[in-house]
Amino acid sequence: MVLLAGFFLKFYDQITIIAGGFGLLAIAGLIKTLYSEGLPKLFIAGIILTLLILVNNFIYFTKVGISFLPFIQKITFFVLFSWIMWINLTLINRLGQGEMGQK
């Protein structure tokens, strides 16, 4: 709740950087796991998602190409949720086939 209050204060940019850093750590861990589990397509999609997030942050903080930011944010949002659904469907299929933890 304390961080939420920062969105309305002068600390918005700092909170965005901190949240983005934690999100990037979580995605990096997930990408590493996808690679070690032998899921190359999901791994590559995760790399693409990470690059889109970095482009979003670059545009937001430098204001270079700021007019494209809403469009890129929509693409990133779509890719993120598509990737999450793809991971979930893959895990459901693996659970049904008894392949979890095996390569």
What would the pLDDT profile of 52-66 be if each residue is shown by its tens digit? 999 998 999 899 999
- All structural domains of the chain with their residue ranges: 2-97
The answer, yes or no, to whether residue 86 has pLDDT greater than 60, is yes
For residue 56, which of 25, 31, 82, 20 has the smallest C-alpha distance? 20
Does the pTM surpass 0.85? The reply is no
3-state secondary structure (DSSP) of residue 1: coil
Q: What is the pLDDT of residues 20-58, one digit of tens each?
A: 889 889 999 999 999 999 999 999 999 999 999 999 989
Which pLDDT score, from 0 to 100, does residue 87 have? 95
